[in-house]
Each structure stands twice: as C-alpha cells, then as structure tokens.
Amino acid sequence: MKKKFLFIAIIFFFSVEIHANAYIESVNPKTVVGSWSRQPLSIYGTNITPESKVRLCWPDNCITLKGERTKYKSSDELQIEIITGIKNEQWQITLIGVDGASSNTISFEVVSTKKHKKQPLNMAAAMNRVGEKQIPLLSHEQTISRLLMLDERIAKLTGAEPSMINYPTSIGAYGDNIYFADSETYNVFRYNRKQNVIFQLYATSNQIDSRMGGIYINSDLSFFVADKMSGSVFHFDLDGYLIKQYVDLKNMRSPVSVVFDEELSTIYIADNVYDRVVLFDKNGVAFSTIGKRGTGAGKFMRIVDLSLGPDGVYVIDKQNKLIQVFSRTGAFRYSIPRGEVKSPSSITVDRKGRIYIADKSDNSIKIYGRRGYLQSFGVTGSGNGQFRAIGDIDADNEFLYVADSANNRIQILKIGAKDSGLDADK
C-alpha cells in the first residue's frame, strides 16, 4: 500500500508541475524586419513569471535571454529585445521556467529589409470589405504621448520636465476627461482634453502599488480601479482619495475589470481566478454572481474583461471563443462567436451596441454587431491608427480611447461616419 501511495503522489506532483509550465500563445510582430539594432518583440501566453528566461534559436545558433533583455509585463506577457541581422530566416522562441521546465516552441519570420513590404499607412487598406467597398468605422483623431504636468508656466518655474507616458495599460473616459493607469510607474493620471492639462493622482498610491486592472469612470468623475494583487476594487474620488474598498474573499481573488451601473447602483467586477462576475451594491456588499468556470452559455475560462452596453453586461474570456451578453440582473441573454480574435485584451461597447475587442495577436481592434463580425481596424506599427500591445480600450460618446501600451501613448479614434452602414444589428 505504501508503494502504491507513493506512485500516486509522484503522478500528482508531476501533473501539477506540467500544469504550471508556461505556454506561448503568440508573438508580436509575427514577421520581423531584419536589423542590426535592438528591436522589441512581445510574447503572449500563460503562466509567465518574472523569472522566465527566453530561449531564442535561429538556423545557426541558440541563445538564452534574461535580465535587461527581457521585461516582464504580466503573467500573460513578456517583452524581449532582439538583434536579428538581415537574413531571411525562421526563428524560434521557447520559455524556460525557474525550475528549468520548457514551454512549447513558437516560430516567427525574419525578413530582409530589401524584400519586406511595409505596412500600409492608409488605414482603409487594412479594413475588411463590407459589400463591395471598404468602409472604415474608425479613424484617427488624436495622439497623446507627451504631456506637461499641471501648467507650462509652473513647469518652467519649478524646472519640471514634461511627464512621459511610459506603459499605459488601463484607460477610461467620461466626456473630456480621460483616466489611465501606467504599469511602469504604478500611477493613475487624469487628463482633460479641452484644457490640455494632466493631473497625477498621487493619493491612489496609498492603496495601489502594482498590477492595476481596469478603470471605470462615473458621471461625477469619481472612478473605480481593479487591483489584481490585493484582490480588491477601490473607489476613488476625482482627486484619487479613497471612498470605498470592495472585497469578497469567497468569490474574488484577482479582479481584472470593473463597471458601474449608476441607475441600478450595482458594481460588476470580473475575476479571472474564480472566473465569475461579482455584483456589489453601493455599500460594498456582494449580493450575487454571474457565471462559473467551464464552457458553454454562462461559463468562462480565464475572464479577460467586461463592459456595459445597451443589451446589458458583455463578457469575454480567453478560452471560450464567444462574446457573452447578460442582463444587468445576471440572466444569460445571448452569445456572439468571436473566432477572429486570437488574444483578446479588452472589450468595450458603444452607445449603438457595436462591440470592440482589442486583439494583441495582430495589434488590431475587431468590431462586432449582434449578428457577428463586422470589420477590423489597425495594424502593427507606430503611426496613427497603428498599435503595439493594446492594453485597454474604452468607448465614450463618439470616441474610442486606446491604451497603446508598447508605443507609450494614448490614441483617440473617431467612431464611424453616419454612412458607414455598420449597425449593431448587422
């Protein structure tokens, strides 16, 4: 009996270790322009840790990257810097854990600069066809990348430098006010578009110092922030001072997104450990949940984000290839296949019911209606309407706000011309 027990224990131990290994889902860009200079490449997957090393192989050799050549972003993302040379070659990437265990291996192409065809700057060329012509629903409006703190005169008097946007990962908007979180500095900022002035909300750092999730802005300009590390959601006033903390140890360990229904006074918080949405009243009491782990209607596998829209609460996860829609009281309504999205990072819904999903796999924003896929916007790059590692998106009135993380900036996109023909019901 002792030998049998030991054998079962060994099997269980190894099954746990295998489950904990990193897994690579995709890399971006998939095609790298050959260069003798360092250039970034993002790795997306699961179970990535700060100690993960990168095994990089090409036809002639293999090397292991660590330290300053790797930058841990989250358990889903790791950035590396590579020098490829200028040959046309296929390269391979494998992640190595602290225990020496290897992930799967994924390939990407290195192409000569002479043979490489540049991405089109005309964004209409990147749109999917609707009928017989290309009809872009989104167009670039504004880029925010370098901002002066408070006032230029004060900055000159105090010798302050312009505040840089380092790596924005969460964003929310209401009217002319944009709130965003920067994962490099662990700070939250409020920017007013009309006044062209930015405020760093220092007080939030008293509660949050790492791994911020989604941000949601209320009509009174107070805001909610999901804090993955503490397993809490914080409600702050417009200056960043704490109003209330939302905790539910039974149903919530790693909240990734939060929205607030002011009419029902209900806070919806998505948790990607327990894979459910927890409903709180305004007093901070959890009174209901939506969904559970699994596949099929009303079930989730690794929730990514949620949003409020005309039809209720919209939820996306990583494993189920669906957009699931629930009533605001939690009843399942319908789902929409989202097979076009390989690595979702965020979802938002405009006032007409059109659904926008950020896809990290190809740096695009996929647009859906109630009947399914409509079109895609964006390609990999640093120009207007181009993205690198979209962290978060939020729709407010006629604008779509994008946390363009690896480009260190916020992009504001204008939502659709009246003649676009892309209604939510199509």
Q: Mind listing the pLDDT tens digit for each residue in 188-243?
A: 989 888 888 888 888 887 787 667 899 999 999 999 999 988 899 999 999 999 99
Strands 138-144 and 409-415: antiparallel
- Please tell me the total number of residues recorded for the chain in this structure: 426
What per-residue confidence (pLDDT) applies to 11?
A: 41
Going 95 to 97 to 99 to 103, the CA torsion angle's sign is negative
Q: Is the pLDDT of residue 342 over 80?
A: yes
Q: Is the pLDDT of residue 420 over 80?
A: no
What per-residue confidence (pLDDT) applies to 338?
A: 94
What per-residue confidence (pLDDT) applies to 198?
A: 82
What per-residue confidence (pLDDT) applies to 195?
A: 84
What per-residue confidence (pLDDT) applies to 3?
A: 45
Element (H, E) at 377: strand 372-377
Q: Which residue has the higher pLDDT, 38 or 96?
A: 96
What per-residue confidence (pLDDT) applies to 390?
A: 95
Q: Which residue has the higher pLDDT, 114 or 30?
A: 30
Element (H, E) at 10: helix 2-20
Mean pLDDT is lowest, of 21-25, 240-244, 261-265, 394-398, for 21-25
Could you please report the per-residue DSSP string of 252-275? -SSEEEEEEETTTTEEEEEETTTT
Q: How far is CA 308 from CA 324, 326, 331, 355, in A?
A: 12, 10, 14, 10
What per-residue confidence (pLDDT) applies to 97?
A: 86
Strands 129-130 and 390-396: unpaired
Please report the domains of the chain, with CATH numbers, ordered by start residue. 24-111 (2.60.40.10), 123-415 (2.120.10.30)
Contacts of 413 (CB under 8 A, 6+ apart): 138, 139, 140, 141, 377, 385, 399, 400, 401, 402
Q: Which residue has the higher pLDDT, 12 or 303?
A: 303
What per-residue confidence (pLDDT) applies to 305?
A: 97
What per-residue confidence (pLDDT) applies to 130?
A: 32
Contacts of 143 (CB under 8 A, 6+ apart): 384, 409, 410, 411, 412
Mean pLDDT is lowest, of 1-15, 89-103, 172-186, 247-261, for 1-15
Q: What is the DSSP-derived secondary structure letter of residue 125?
A: G
Residue 93: Cβ-neighbour burial (10 angstroms; 0-12, 13-18, 19+)? buried
274 touches 252 (CB < 8 A): yes
In whole angstroms, what is the distance from residue 260 CA to residue 119 CA?
39
Quick one: average pLDDT of 118-146? 51
Q: Is the pLDDT of residue 7 over 60?
A: no
Residue 71 phi, psi (nearest 5): -135, 110
Contacts of 186 (CB under 8 A, 6+ apart): 205, 208, 209, 210, 212
What per-residue confidence (pLDDT) applies to 43?
A: 92
> CA geometry: angle at 72 spanning 102 and 363, to 5°?
95
Question: In the chain, what percentage of residues exceed pLDDT 70?
Answer: 82
Question: In the chain, what percentage of residues exceed pLDDT 90?
Answer: 50
Quick one: average pLDDT of 163-179? 88
- Mean model confidence pLDDT for the chain: 83
Quick one: average pLDDT of 46-59? 88
What per-residue confidence (pLDDT) applies to 179?
A: 95
> What are 299's two structure tokens?
């079930």
Quick one: average pLDDT of 293-307? 94
Mean pLDDT is lowest, of 25-39, 275-289, 383-397, for 25-39
pLDDT category at 149 given cuts 50, 70, 90 is very low
Q: Is the pLDDT of residue 8 over 90?
A: no
Q: Is the pLDDT of residue 421 over 60?
A: no
Quick one: average pLDDT of 295-316? 95
Instruction: Rank 142-151, 267-276, 413-422 by mean pLDDT and report only the highest.
Output: 267-276
Q: Is the pLDDT of residue 417 over 90?
A: no
What per-residue confidence (pLDDT) applies to 152?
A: 46
How many other C-beta atoms can be found within 10 angstroms of the C-beta atom of residue 6?
10
In whole angstroms, what is the distance from residue 423 CA to residue 425 CA?
5
What per-residue confidence (pLDDT) applies to 281?
A: 96
> b or e along 302-335 (b: 16 or more beta carbons within 10 Å of the residue's beta carbon)?
bbbbbbbbebbbbbbbbebbbbbbbeeebebeeb
Instruction: Rank 31-35, 167-171, 265-269 by mean pLDDT and report only the highest.
Output: 265-269
Q: What is the DSSP-derived secondary structure letter of residue 323?
A: E
Q: How far apart are the first and last CA of the chain?
A: 64
How many other C-beta atoms can be found within 10 angstroms of the C-beta atom of residue 237?
15
Quick one: average pLDDT of 399-415? 93
In whole angstroms, what is the distance from residue 314 CA to residue 299 CA?
13
Contacts of 8 (CB under 8 A, 6+ apart): none
What per-residue confidence (pLDDT) applies to 209?
A: 63
Q: Is the pLDDT of residue 262 over 70?
A: yes
Element (H, E) at 8: helix 2-20
